[in-house]
């Protein structure tokens, strides 16, 4: 199955990996590359956005059967599937722009850690295992979905038709993700003394990774009219987060940003220790049985 079939085929039940079904307005998406675009830069940009979605999808999927209530188990799984759908299209676009004989599965399951371009926020371990924490998962989802929604809203005007189409669909999905995380933030902060402590601790856990979301990257600067300058999103994201924090009577954590390594971070393939363990689990079946189909 070509990943783009889900954009144009509304008569098949193939939309599970994209969230809900696509509307007719997205039928016949133009896949031609924009004029005068550096395909290497377009590939890199699609990997950035696709890897963000793919890795966070993997993290959220870890909560399957382990969330604090059944309804939340389903909600997190659906959010993970929304992000997986975005990742599939973005990784497919990356492969097309690069002009190599690979697909989204190849990019997801055969790249090594240093080849992934996601921000470090999405890879850290906030999961249900030892040391995992539901409040930290909600804190991360709140921050990331607020950032992602602002990004996708601007990306709907991209000169790349596939990026614009993915963004147009994604804003509807991520708006729900942000609202879901905000509602849980209010619920935890306004619940028991213990739940409030966990929410505060969750925000402190993820806050060192926030600044990286808004660090401008050279690839973005080299794709005018196609990419979005991450630095321009900061004011809008801060305003939304401050509104949620005020409603929940929470203060912004006073913690230092996570340092880069010689100026390089997740966008440059420099990740946290958690990334290697995540990839080992996510890629295990594919690497154990290369070429297998089922």
In contact, 189 and 249? CB cutoff 8 Å: yes
CATH numbers and ranges of domains, the chain: 37-288 (1.20.1260.10)
Helices 134-155 and 193-206, axial angle in degrees (round to 10): 50
Neighbours of 254 (CB within 10 A): 7
Look at 126 and 3; give whichever has higher pLDDT: 126
- Cα-based distances in Å from 233 to 123, 144, 189, 222: 21, 12, 26, 18
Q: How far apart are CA 141 and CA 147, in angstroms?
A: 10
Binning pLDDT at 50, 70 and 90, where does residue 129 land?
low
To which H or E segment does residue 280 belong? helix 273-282
Mean pLDDT for all residues in the chain: 90
Q: What is the pLDDT of residues 160-208, one digit of tens each?
A: 999 999 999 999 999 999 999 999 999 999 999 999 999 999 999 999 9
Which band of pLDDT confidence, cut at 50, 70 and 90, is reported for residue 5? Answer: low
Distance separating alpha carbons of residues 3 and 27, to the nearest angstrom:
14
The values of phi and psi at residue 29, to 5°, are -60, 130
Say if residue 268's pLDDT is above 70. Answer: yes
Handedness of CA 78, 287, 129, 268 (dihedral sign): negative
Provide the pLDDT for residue 19: 45
Handedness of CA 64, 149, 96, 275 (dihedral sign): negative
**pLDDT digit string (tens) for 35-89?**
889 999 999 999 999 999 999 999 999 998 888 888 999 999 999 999 999 999 9
């Amino acid at each position: 199955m070509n990943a783009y079939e889900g954009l144009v085929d509304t008569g098949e039940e193939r939309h599970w990996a994209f969230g809900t079904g696509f509307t007719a307005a997205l039928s016949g998406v133009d896949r031609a590359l924009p004029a005068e675009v550096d395909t290497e830069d377009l590939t890199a940009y699609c990997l950035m956005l696709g890897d963000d979605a793919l890795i966070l999808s993997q993290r959220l999927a870890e909560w399957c059967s382990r969330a604090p209530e059944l309804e939340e188990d389903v909600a997190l799984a659906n959010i993970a599937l929304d992000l997986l759908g975005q990742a599939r299209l973005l990784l497919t676009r990356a492969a097309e722009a690069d002009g190599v004989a690979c697909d989204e599965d190849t990019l997801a399951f055969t790249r090594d850690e240093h080849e992934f371009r996601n921000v470090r926020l999405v890879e850290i371990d906030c999961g249900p295992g030892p040391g995992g924490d539901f409040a930290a998962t909600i804190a991360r989802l709140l921050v990331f979905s607020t950032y992602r929604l602002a990004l996708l809203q601007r990306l709907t005007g991209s000169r790349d038709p596939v990026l614009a189409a993915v963004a147009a669909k994604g804003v509807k999905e991520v708006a729900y993700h942000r609202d879901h995380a905000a509602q849980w933030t209010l619920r935890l902060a306004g619940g028991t003394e213990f739940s409030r402590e966990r929410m505060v601790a969750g925000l402190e856990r993820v806050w060192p990774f926030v600044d990286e979301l808004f660090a401008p990257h050279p690839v973005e600067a080299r794709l005018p009219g196609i990419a979005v300058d991450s630095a321009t999103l900061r004011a809008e994201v801060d305003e939304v987060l401050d509104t949620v924090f005020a409603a929940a009577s929470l203060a912004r954590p006073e913690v230092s940003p996570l340092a880069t390594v010689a100026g390089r971070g997740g966008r440059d393939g420099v990740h946290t220790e958690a990334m290697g363990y995540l990839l080992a689990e996510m890629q295990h079946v594919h690497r154990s049985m290369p070429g297998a189909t089922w």
